[in-house]
Structure 1
């Protein structure tokens, strides 16, 4: 099934839709969301992307990153992808949004108006192996150390969004 993204201008006015991979090749601005989940210890959930993903395979990133569908709110999309990728449901709170552009390799770009959500989750996961290899919780101190020591193990967008998150909190 082809996936489409919603193309927007910097003020989030809808300009149309485009097939997802084509939008990533063209580097056009589109809607996205990112979810940061934490456990009761304040540790952040990371997911390792599946090896068959068409870009950034095997890299670690935040709980969920994806795109709302046409007619879907950012929060609805975020909750849908939590269920599809991690097999979970939890309450989310939108924290901020911003625009970024990142080269993700292979001639592909993430150019996104990204709405960032947070939530708390302490239960079991039911991973979709087509999307996620594994998950783990990590302290912010250990995460910062790992990103400094081995930045290539993390998605480009996660490093950008994490820095923006730190500036907002």
Structure 2
């Protein structure tokens, strides 16, 4: 299987080239990415536990899905594609915000991403891809926040960063209404 390229970007999210995914993570080069949060009608967020054979962060809990856009693909198209590939369903997605973060892993790789955070709604059970996902669960936002505080090693490095911003975004949005 051919390794996928990631889209290298500058801080304004303007594409400046392509690079194989592993090389970008080895060199900690800024590239475009996305994170999808799926919520149900109870206001719970669907979390996934990464598969045990993932090359980094195996068996850690994280947001519903995340990955990298392909060349020529919009953020929404990429989010829907990966949601189907990992979780076995699709949903309408809304882009909420984007930001840059850097998260090193214990295996020497580093995520340095301009991350586009999206949200969608779904009711029901996913049909998880076992090569990507070990398990899944619904959790209330407050429960996630508390569990990250008491069990930070159970979550991916990027999720801890992204969840804080996602949580703050939803709180500010509800205060405005």
Q: What TM-score do the two structures reach when normalised by structure 2?
A: 0.93
Question: Which residues of 2 match residues 6-45 of structure 1 at below 5 A?
Answer: 6-45=7-46
**Residue ranges of structure 1 left out of the alignment (5+ in a row):** none
CA distance in structure 2 between the aligned counterparts of 1:17 and 1:105, rounded to whole angstroms: 25
Query: Which residue is equivalent to 1:50?
Result: 51
CA distance in structure 1 between the aligned counterparts of 2:126 and 2:13, rounded to whole angstroms: 33
1:34-56 Cα deviation digits (max 9, x unpaired): 00111110011100000000011
Secondary structure of the residue aligned to 1:40 is coil
CA distance in structure 1 between the aligned counterparts of 2:84 and 2:169, rounded to whole angstroms: 27
Per-residue deviation, 1:168: 2.2
CA distance in structure 2 between the aligned counterparts of 1:15 and 1:168, rounded to whole angstroms: 29
Please, what is the CA RMSD of the aligned residues? Answer: 0.9
Secondary structure of the residue aligned to 1:112 is strand
1:72-128 Cα deviation digits (max 9, x unpaired): 111111000000000101111111011111112211111111110001111221111
Runs of 4+ in 1 over 3 A off after TM superposition: none
Aligned length: 169
CA distance in structure 2 between the aligned counterparts of 1:124 and 1:162, rounded to whole angstroms: 22
Question: Which residues of 2 match residues 19-168 of structure 1 at below 5 A?
Answer: 19-168=20-169
CA distance in structure 2 between the aligned counterparts of 1:105 and 1:92, rounded to whole angstroms: 32
**1:5 matched to 2:6:** yes
Secondary structure of the residue aligned to 1:32 is strand
Secondary structure of the residue aligned to 1:105 is coil
Q: What TM-score do the two structures reach when normalised by structure 1?
A: 0.97
